[in-house]
Every structure is written in structure tokens, then in C-alpha cells.
Amino acid sequence: AQSVTQPDIHITVSEGASLELRCNYSYGATPYLFWYVQSPGQGLQLLLKYFSGDTLVQGIKGFEAEFKRSQSSFNLRKPSVHWSDAAEYFCAVGYNDMRFGAGTRLTVKP
Amino acid sequence: KAGVTQTPRYLIKTRGQQVTLSCSPISGHRSVSWYQQTPGQGLQFLFEYFSETQRNKGNFPGRFSGRQFSNSRSEMNVSTLELGDSALYLCASSTFSGLANEQFFGPGTRLTVL
């Protein structure tokens, strides 16, 4: 069955530390891949997307993600987290329609 | 350019009532998609409209319907409300239909069913 999995429900990192949020998908073919961020009381904002080509994708706010076909993964990374990065992060997969992972809530410790 | 606007932002209804939510896309955008977000089910795709035609539909009962007007504004209607319909309803607009087009999300309408 087609699915998107974000294994981590909640992650806490210290400000200035590096961050990696995991995303795995299960589809017959390589779908479109997205990462969105949602701050409290707000809608979703697109951080980055992957359709094809270079497997390392740069996004806004200093985020990047790497597509690994062999692992069916599209993990989001940031080298140094800022307090303003605290939010919920969603991995999404587009094939016939858009499907979202359950989300990972990021807490940033001062 | 103004972003996606959704009205109302908050809504309280009782079981059995119906509700209509409105979404105004970014100027020039012709595609509008609707999503339901709940703590239990997460974000789920409801449907997409492009040029007043429904292009795609998620797995929701017929109580959930929508339409799009010639100015690309969209409405979503839920009839015979159930407690489980309590959710944040998000609207997203894009220039064209299709997943390759970036979607811009509105702030959502928080629906509470009592």
C-alpha cells in the first residue's frame, strides 16, 4: 500500500545543534517529494521539493533534504537549528494526489 | 500579493447541521485544493478544483462537497455534521493543477462540532 512514514513524532534539539528529520515512503515509482513546515495557528509553508535530478535539494530557511532511492527516504536536515525553527514538519508525497506523513514536532531548547 | 485567505477562521456547529467554508486563492491561481487536518488522521486530501471543475477527490463521504467559481474562489460544504468532522480545514492554491505546481496554504478554518 502507498504510504508516507515519519518515524519520529517529537524531536527536541538544542539551539545551534544539527537536525535531521526522517521520512520514508512506499510507492511503486518515485513520486514527487515535499517537506512542509507548520507553525502554530498557521497553514503549511513549503520548505523544499524533489521531482528529479540532483538528489540533494536546497530549500528555504537553510534546510536541505536528500533523496535516497535505495532507502525510499527523503530526510530533512539543517546544520544549525534556530529557536524560530520550532514547529511541526510534514513530509508529503505526490503521486495521484498529495499524501502527508503524520508530522514531526520539533522543540528547540535554548 | 495577498496570500490565500479562508473564512471564517473559527466555526462552532452542532451535529446534524451543515457548514460552508470559503477560500480565496492567490490572485492568478486557478487551482484550489482542500485538506482536512485532525490529530488522529493527520492531513488528508479532500478534493481539488481547477477552472471550476473537480479534478481529483480524496476518500471522503459524499457529505463533503465543494465548488469553484469563475473567479477561482472555492467553497467547501459539509452536510449533516458529525463530531468527527471537527478539524482544521486547509485550503491551498496553485497556478495550475498538478502536483508539480507549488501549493500555497491558507491559515485554515477551525471547525468544532458539538
A43 touches B: beta carbon within 8 Å: yes
Predicted local confidence at residue B37, as pLDDT: 95
Mean pLDDT value across chain B? 94
Which residues of chain B are within 8 Å of residue A99 when distances are taken between CB atoms? 45
Q: A60 touching B, CB under 8 A? A: no
Percent of chain B with pLDDT over 90: 87
Please determine, for residue A40, whether its predicted confidence score (pLDDT) is greater than 90.
Answer: no
How many CB atoms sit inside 10 A of residue A21's CB?
A: 23
Phi-psi sector, B26: left (phi>0), alpha (psi -120 to 50), beta: beta
pLDDT average, residue stretch A22-46:
89
Q: Which of A93-102, B14-23, B36-45 has the lowest mean pLDDT?
A: A93-102
Nearest-neighbour CA in chain B from A22: distance (Å): 17
pLDDT at residue B112 in the model: 98
